């Protein structure tokens, strides 16, 4: 793609004074410059990191849409923290993946039961579970001599040391997550939009909540080694929240979320590589990815405002109508002034008159 | 087969009855209006028919089954203010939700599903709004979309919770017209309302409730001043001109 453009620009210029400009422009597309964007990924560990992020992007886009519409940001945050002790136990036993998986499933079930039917004050119970499990994880990891470096790995991940085996595990989890999401998507959407309506239609809300919590837990397990238990929450929340600013359509949100994570993943890895190699600045790759996601979110905020301002005349009309509702027609004559004390404003609005 | 049969039923949450002594029988094509003040138990009664609130005592059958076993068979139109207007979902998607149960988990929506959705939207007069986001519609239009969603499921029993709250006159007329058509086609209807005028206009049967069932029968026999005063307690006030005013707390 680039070659013909370079050749085209390199042909003798029509005007002599244009020569230096076109030459410098052509230089932009020559090998050393484009190499800046591709060369880092010729290094195997960078290529593996990019593949891992791409797989995560594939699942985080769609899953984050459901996290967004179900307002599960806090639950997702709790899940990432409650998986932590499982990761530590798994690591100590030499089976990090299995440990994380078991912890994820157990906590997904626990969180579903805890929040079922809005029985308890969800926030408090979830927060207690979150901090308790997180502390257990820290206690477990602090028994090791390599405490600090291990803790850093679990919390922030090691994107650059991802192995082919780990990529294969992530791919398998991604397939499970996508299938689970595809099967449950309609019911999950119905439940998110109108829980009473979905229950009346015969859907089991408790099972649907468990379904989604398990999906989120699996994403946490898939992402934990690459970006760590803390940063994974960014991948679950920001993509859909950012995509919502540019679209009203769920499918578009999912695709945009995936593109956003993939883009931030690529740019984050590149930034971290360039910073370390060319400028001697240590820049953690996973944090760069997350920071770029946050930057994308912030940059898209004005887009949302613009879209609102450009709402179709019809939508503006509706907004006006909602703010100033049409008065209901008086279907029966009003009664004469009541000798009773005036009812409260709310009572007044609710009252009905009846001719006997 | 009766669409709905309640005999001496009490319903409520956590073994605490919200509504007692309910005796109802509703045949296909009949329109039953639930009338009562706020907190009377209208929504609870509707949810008990849907199998979402347990029947604590008495015998209840919905479309020939126990309410819990009949779950998913009766259509339901919730109050619009229970839904998030900012939810990124189109009108067409909302109506399609009515078909989700019959579509099942695995297969995609078929032409028959899309046709049912289009017909339901046509019926409520919102076919031209199918692609709009649900939240951009006015309150009355949103209520009509929810009615279309229920219709798309083709239920034999349809329950509507306060369908005229926050609804403009045009939408109210549209909803009443559709409900008449549905009843004429054999759908049994249960709807709750504060609006006694609508109740009189639409009802075959009126059920007057407030914590318990106070009266059930034809509108002319139930929506009388004395019956209403009985059900509404001290909140029904006689006015000097002989009419009665209901003041809700």
Q: What are phi and psi of B215, to 5 degrees?
A: -160, 150
Q: What is the DSSP string of A199-243?
A: HHTT--HHHHHHHHHHHHHHHHHHHHHHHHHHHHHHHHHHHHHHH
Chain B residues with beta carbon closer than 8 angstroms to that of A321: 138, 168
Predicted pLDDT at A207: 93
Confirm whether A205 is domain-assigned.
yes
Per the structure, how many domains does chain A have?
Answer: 1
Confidence of residue B215 (pLDDT cuts 50, 70, 90): confident
Chain B residues with beta carbon closer than 8 angstroms to that of A350: 38, 194, 247-248
Cβ separation of A325 and B166 shorter than 8 Å?
Answer: yes
| B154 in Cβ contact with B116 (< 8 Å) | yes
pLDDT at residue A56 tops 90: yes
Instruction: State the ipTM, two decimals.
Output: 0.91
Confirm whether A76 is domain-assigned.
yes
| A132 in Cβ contact with A83 (< 8 Å) | no
Q: Assign 3-class secondary structure to B208-233.
A: EECCEEEEEECHHHHCCHHHHHHHHH
As given in the structure block, the two tokens for residue B183 are: 């009843």
- Across all residues in chain A, what is the average pLDDT? 79
Chain A residues with beta carbon closer than 8 angstroms to that of B89: 189, 193, 250
Partner residue opposite A199 with nearest CB, options B52, B82, B94? B52
Q: What are phi and psi of B192, to 5 degrees?
A: -105, 145
% of chain A with per-residue pLDDT over 70: 76
The pairing of beta strand A352-354 with beta strand B75-77: unpaired
Predicted pLDDT at A307: 81
Predicted pLDDT at B242: 59
Residue B195 touches chain A, beta carbons under 8 Å: yes
| A65 in Cβ contact with A242 (< 8 Å) | no
As given in the structure block, the two tokens for residue B13 are: 């949450």
Render pLDDT for A289-310 as a digit per residue (tens, 0 to 9). Answer: 999 999 999 999 998 888 877 7
Average the pLDDT over A21-48 and give the result. Answer: 75
Which of B100, B78, B97, B18 has the alpha carbon at shortest distance from B54?
B18
Confirm whether A92 is domain-assigned.
yes
pLDDT at residue A87 tops 80: yes
Residue B246 touches chain A, beta carbons under 8 Å: yes
Residue B239 touches chain A, beta carbons under 8 Å: yes
Confidence of residue A119 (pLDDT cuts 50, 70, 90): low
Confirm whether A173 is domain-assigned.
yes
Predicted pLDDT at A319: 43
Chain B residues with beta carbon closer than 8 angstroms to that of A345: none
- Across all residues in chain B, what is the average pLDDT? 89
pLDDT at residue A177 tops 90: yes
% of chain B with per-residue pLDDT over 70: 94
The Cα A221–Cα A177 span in angstroms is 11
| A231 in Cβ contact with A290 (< 8 Å) | yes
pLDDT at residue A4 tops 70: no
Residue of A nearest to B222 (CA): A356
Predicted pLDDT at A27: 59
Predicted pLDDT at A10: 44
Beta-carbon count within 10 A of A151 CB: 18
The shortest C-alpha distance from A124 to chain B (Å) reads: 23
Confirm whether A158 is domain-assigned.
yes
How many contacts (CB atoms, under 8 Å) link A and B? Answer: 144
Which of A232, A230, A224 has the alpha carbon at shortest distance from A162?
A224
Confirm whether A78 is domain-assigned.
yes
Cβ separation of A199 and B101 shorter than 8 Å?
Answer: no
Average the pLDDT over A129-140 and give the result. Answer: 86
The shortest C-alpha distance from B152 to chain A (Å) reads: 12
Which CATH number does the domain housing residue A96 bear? 1.10.3470.10
DSSP B130: T
pLDDT at residue A192 tops 90: yes
The Cα B245–Cα B96 span in angstroms is 42
The Cα B230–Cα A335 span in angstroms is 21
Ramachandran region, residue A61 (left: φ > 0; alpha: ψ -120 to 50; beta: rest): alpha
Which of B52, B41, B91, B106 has the alpha carbon at shortest distance from B74?
B52
Partner residue opposite A336 with nearest CB, options B90, B239, B249? B239
- Of the ranges A82-91, A205-214, B70-79, which one carries the lowest mean pLDDT score? A82-91
Predicted pLDDT at A356: 31
Chain B residues with beta carbon closer than 8 angstroms to that of A315: 136
The Cα A82–Cα B24 span in angstroms is 50
Strand order in the sheet with B213-217: B75-77, B157-160, B188-193, B31-35, B205-209, B213-217
Predicted pLDDT at A316: 47
Ramachandran region, residue A155 (left: φ > 0; alpha: ψ -120 to 50; beta: rest): alpha
Segments forming the whole domain that contains residue A263: 34-310
The predicted model scores a pTM of 0.82
Average the pLDDT over A103-112 and give the result. Answer: 88
Confidence of residue A9 (pLDDT cuts 50, 70, 90): very low
| B77 in Cβ contact with B147 (< 8 Å) | yes
Residue B230 touches chain A, beta carbons under 8 Å: no
Render pLDDT for B17-66 as a digit per residue (tens, 0 to 9). Answer: 899 999 999 999 999 999 988 888 999 999 999 999 999 999 999 999 99
pLDDT at residue B247 tops 70: no
Cβ separation of B225 and A356 shorter than 8 Å?
Answer: yes
- Of the ranges A107-111, A120-124, B127-131, B147-151, which one carries the lowest mean pLDDT score? A120-124
Confidence of residue B76 (pLDDT cuts 50, 70, 90): very high
Average the pLDDT over A244-262 and give the result. Answer: 94
Average the pLDDT over A238-265 and give the result. Answer: 94
* More confident site: B196 or A312: B196
The shortest C-alpha distance from A310 to chain B (Å) reads: 14
Confirm whether A331 is domain-assigned.
no
Predicted pLDDT at A152: 80
pLDDT at residue A353 tops 60: no
Confirm whether A257 is domain-assigned.
yes
| B87 in Cβ contact with B107 (< 8 Å) | no
- Of the ranges A34-48, A175-189, A322-336, B105-119, which one carries the lowest mean pLDDT score? A322-336
pLDDT at residue A315 tops 80: no
pLDDT at residue A311 tops 90: no
Interface of A with B in 309-328 (CB under 8 A): 311, 314-315, 318, 321-322, 325-326, 328
The Cα A124–Cα A110 span in angstroms is 14
Residue of B nearest to A196 (CA): B78
Average the pLDDT over A238-258 and give the result. Answer: 94
Confidence of residue A7 (pLDDT cuts 50, 70, 90): very low
Predicted pLDDT at A22: 63
Cβ-based neighbours of B111, under 8 Å, separated by 6 or more: none
Confidence of residue B240 (pLDDT cuts 50, 70, 90): low
Residue B64 touches chain A, beta carbons under 8 Å: no
Residue B101 touches chain A, beta carbons under 8 Å: yes
Predicted pLDDT at B96: 96
Torsion angle of alpha carbons A135, A141, A144, A149, nearest 10°? -120
């Amino acid at each position: 793609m680039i070659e013909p453009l370079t050749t085209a620009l390199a042909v003798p210029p029509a005007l002599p004074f244009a020569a230096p400009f076109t030459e410098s422009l052509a230089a932009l597309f020559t090998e050393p410059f484009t190499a800046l964007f591709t060369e880092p990924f010729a290094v195997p560990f960078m290529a593996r990191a990019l593949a891992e992020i791409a797989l995560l992007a594939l699942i985080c886009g769609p899953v984050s849409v459901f996290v967004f519409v179900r307002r599960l940001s806090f639950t997702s945050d709790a899940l990432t923290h409650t998986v932590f002790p499982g990761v530590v136990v798994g690591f100590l036993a030499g089976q990090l993946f299995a440990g994380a998986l078991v912890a994820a499933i157990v906590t997904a079930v626990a969180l579903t039961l805890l929040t079922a039917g809005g029985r308890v004050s969800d926030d408090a119970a979830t927060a207690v579970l979150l901090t308790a499990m997180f502390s257990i994880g820290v206690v477990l990891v602090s028994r090791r001599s390599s405490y600090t470096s291990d803790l850093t790995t679990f919390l922030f991940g090691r994107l650059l040391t991802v192995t082919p085996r780990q990529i294969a595990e992530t791919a398998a989890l991604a397939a499970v997550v996508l299938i689970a999401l595809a099967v449950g998507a309609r019911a999950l959407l119905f439940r998110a939009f109108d829980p009473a309506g979905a229950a009346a239609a015969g859907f089991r809300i408790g099972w649907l909540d468990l379904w989604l919590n398990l999906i989120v837990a699996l994403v946490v397990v898939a992402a934990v080694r690459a970006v760590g238990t803390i940063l994974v929450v960014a991948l679950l929340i920001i993509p859909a929240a950012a995509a919502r600013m540019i679209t009203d359509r769920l499918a578009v949100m999912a695709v945009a979320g995936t593109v956003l994570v993939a883009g931030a993943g690529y740019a984050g890895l590149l930034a971290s590589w360039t910073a370390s190699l060319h400028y001697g600045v240590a820049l953690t790759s996973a944090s760069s990815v997350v920071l770029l996601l946050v930057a994308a979110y912030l940059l898209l905020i004005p887009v949302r405002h613009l879209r609102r301002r450009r709402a179709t005349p019809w939508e503006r009309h509706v907004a006006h109508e909602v703010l100033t509702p049409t008065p209901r027609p008086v279907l029966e004559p009003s009664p004469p002034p009541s000798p009773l004390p005036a009812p409260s404003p709310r009572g007044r609005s609710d009252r009905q008159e009846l001719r006997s | 087969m009766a669409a709905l049969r309640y005999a001496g039923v009490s319903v409520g949450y956590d073994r605490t009855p919200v509504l007692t002594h309910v005796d109802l029988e509703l045949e296909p094509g009949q329109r039953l209006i639930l009338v009562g003040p706020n907190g009377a138990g209208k929504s609870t009664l509707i949810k008990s028919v849907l199998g979402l609130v347990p029947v604590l005592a008495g015998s209840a059958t919905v479309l020939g089954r126990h309410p819990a076993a009949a779950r998913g068979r009766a259509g339901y139109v919730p109050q619009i203010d229970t839904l998030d207007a900012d939810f990124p979902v189109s009108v067409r998607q909302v109506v399609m939700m009515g078909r989700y149960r019959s579509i099942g988990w695995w297969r995609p929506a078929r032409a028959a599903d899309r046709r049912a959705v289009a017909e339901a939207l046509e019926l409520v007069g919102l076919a031209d709004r199918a692609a709009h986001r649900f939240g951009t519609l006015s309150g009355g239009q949103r209520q009509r979309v929810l009615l279309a969603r229920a219709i798309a499921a083709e239920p034999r029993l349809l329950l509507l919770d306060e369908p005229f709250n926050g609804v403009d006159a045009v939408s109210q007329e549209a909803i009443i017209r559709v409900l008449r058509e549905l009843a004429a086609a054999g759908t049994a209807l249960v709807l709750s309302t504060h609006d006694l005028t609508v109740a009189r206009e639409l009802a075959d049967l009126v059920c007057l409730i407030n914590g318990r069932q106070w009266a059930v029968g034809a509108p002319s026999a139930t929506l009388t001043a004395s019956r209403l005063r009985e059900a509404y307690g001290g909140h029904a006030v006689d006015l000097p001109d002989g009419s009665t005013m209901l003041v809700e707390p």
